[in-house]
């Protein structure tokens, strides 16, 4: 026999987390709160969804901040400062 041994591969079962212990499952509020089970696939889906929400939220923020926001504000023009209404204006070369 060599130093390596083979281990039979068993089917991999998905891990599940039950939020309610067995003694709590028989109480009345179980009717209102569904039994929640988190699987590996569910965690991956939740993580992907949260990352996409953050990405698109950041993208919308950047577009608003750099494209829309600078154009929202306008500087009021004092009518006395207009070149047409001024008594004298210097020629700028």
Question: Three-state DSSP class for 27?
Answer: coil
Residue 62 has pLDDT above 60, yes or no: yes
Q: What is the DSSP string of 48-88?
A: HHHHHHHHHHHHHHHHIIIIIHHHH--PPPPGGGSTTT-S-
Token readout for 35 is 């039994």
pLDDT band (50, 70, 90) for residue 39: confident
Q: Give me the residue spans of the domains in the chain.
A: 17-73
Residue 91 has pLDDT above 70, yes or no: yes
At which residue do the structure tokens 């008594």 appear? 87
Share of the chain above pLDDT 70, in %: 59
Residue whose C-alpha is closest to residue 12's, from 41, 51, 37, 33: 41
Residue 79 has pLDDT above 70, yes or no: yes
pTM of the model: 0.46
């Amino acid at each position: 026999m060599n130093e390596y041994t083979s281990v039979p591969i068993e089917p991999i079962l998905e891990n599940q987390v039950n939020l309610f212990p067995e003694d709590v499952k028989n109480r009345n509020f179980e009717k209102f709160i569904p039994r929640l089970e988190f699987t590996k696939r569910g965690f991956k889906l939740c993580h992907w969804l949260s990352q996409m929400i953050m990405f698109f939220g950041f993208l919308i923020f950047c577009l608003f901040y750099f494209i829309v926001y600078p154009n929202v504000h306008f500087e009021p023009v004092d009518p006395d400062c207009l070149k047409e209404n001024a008594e004298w204006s210097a020629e700028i070369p």
